[in-house]
Structure 1
Amino acid sequence: MASEITYAEVKFKNESPAPVVKGPPETKKPEQHPQKYPLWLPWLISLLLLLVCIALIVVLLVVPFCHSSDQPSALQQQFSEWECGSAVPQGTDRGWMCCPKGWRRFQGSCYFLSTDTMNCAESARNCTGMGSQLVVITSKAEQEFLIEQGTQRSKRDLFYIGLFEAVANQWQWVDKTPYNVTAAYWREGEPSPDHTENCTVMYLPEGTHNNWNDVRPTTTHHRICEAAAVTV
């Protein structure tokens, strides 16, 4: 007898495949390269160095002169060209004394000896307009210095100074410095009793220290202006 073959039908249910777990994408490490500077960086550094140098020049040269006093003097406001010399007494915090170009320096003052002539009042105004005044002579050394400066310039014999006869027989310096008759340098016979001659000049051809002469204010002569030197 033949063996009987039995068939069985087997069915499988469709199952979804197991989910695949994905990790974060792998990040690629950047390659190491030598650090490079922008092309404009050297130019920027050079510009900064140049600005620093300019600032140092301003601080060392310009600022001390501008701040030589709390407020610029009238003389400083009138002139832009100056001549300086190292003549400040030791122990001070500044080492240079300066006068406008063309002026002469003696001790702490600057002097201007004019080449043109004016009357007495015009001479006083001209000095004032330059930030100075007609010279006030207070020592023999100053008198000798001015004589030397005046005699070095030919054809200039008479120079107005800042001494006036305010009232009869009362002489007064333009800056109110007390007049000391024992420190005056009048020529012999001067001042004259003529009170219309109430301005004073230095008469250089006299050849002596005593060379002051009183004159009428309408006469025209050269002049000597004086101002304090600027220290820096």
Structure 2
Amino acid sequence: MVQERQLQGNGVCWSLRLWSATVISILLLSTCFIVSCVVTYQFSMDKPNRRLSELRSNHYNVTCFSEGTMVSDKVWNCCPKDWKPFGSHCYLVTRGTSLASWNKSEENCSRMGAHLLVIHSQEEQDFITGILRTHASYYIGLWDTGHRQWRWVDQTPYEESAT
């Protein structure tokens, strides 16, 4: 009888240890999950502020304009000084004298929080050709990913029929 009670006591002890380990594991996993949620939230909330501060550091003066005729239809957009607005985008035509490569040009744009030109419509293409010098050369944000798979630098696919 004494041996049976000892065996039952050992079984209860092991069962209690197993449940304790399970509860501790669940608590640790829950804590990790909550911490990761808080960190993710902080990064996502900080991103717009970081983007705004990047724009402020790159562009001290901005010009704002509105589209639409009625107050309810107006959409305000802002472009840095000397940039040209069209639709919801801003364009800067650089007339540098150096012969930078395509990669270097894209890198320069990236430092300003921008990218090389991406053409979304025929209207946009007409606007762009209207502000460019006729006999000058310019880079655009179109690149070949391999085997004539053209893509824009903003990762949109190139549609030959669109422009």
Q: TM over 0.5, yes or no?
A: yes
How far apart are the structure 2 equivalents of 1:89 and 1:79?
Answer: 28
Q: Does 1:170 align with 2:152?
A: no
User: Which structure has the highest strand share of the two?
Assistant: 1
Change (3 A) 1:150 1:122: same
Change (3 A) 1:171 1:86: same
Code of the residue aligned with 1:177 in structure 2: it is: T
Q: Which residue of 1 aligns with 2:116?
A: 134
How far apart are the structure 1 equivalents of 2:151 and 2:75?
Answer: 34
Offset of residue 89 of structure 1: 7.4
Query: Size of the alignment, in residue pairs?
Result: 112
How far apart are the structure 2 equivalents of 1:124 and 1:176?
Answer: 14
How far apart are the structure 2 equivalents of 1:75 and 1:132?
Answer: 10
How far apart are the structure 2 equivalents of 1:88 and 1:70?
Answer: 26
Q: Which residues of structure 2 form unaligned runs of 5+?
A: 1-46
Identity %: 33
Q: Does 1:103 align with 2:63?
A: no
Contact 1:75 1:132 in 2 (8 A): no
Change (3 A) 1:89 1:97: farther
Q: Which residues of structure 1 form unaligned runs of 5+?
A: 1-68, 185-232
Q: Which residue of 1 aligns with 2:94?
A: 114
How far apart are the structure 2 equivalents of 1:132 and 1:169?
Answer: 25
Contact 1:88 1:97 in 2 (8 A): no
One of 151, 155, 158 as aligned partner of 2:137: 158
Q: Larger Cα Rg: Structure 1 or Structure 2?
A: 1
How far apart are the structure 2 equivalents of 1:70 and 1:125?
Answer: 22
Q: Which residue of 1 aligns with 2:125?
A: 143
- After TM superposition, the score normalised by the length of structure 1 is 0.44
How far apart are the structure 2 equivalents of 1:139 and 1:183?
Answer: 6
SS in 2 for 1:105: strand
Contact 2:143 2:150 in 1 (8 A): yes
If asked which structure has higher relative contact order (CA below 8 Å, sep 6+), I would say 1
Moved runs in structure 1, 4+ residues, more than 6 A?
A: none
Contact 2:150 2:157 in 1 (8 A): no
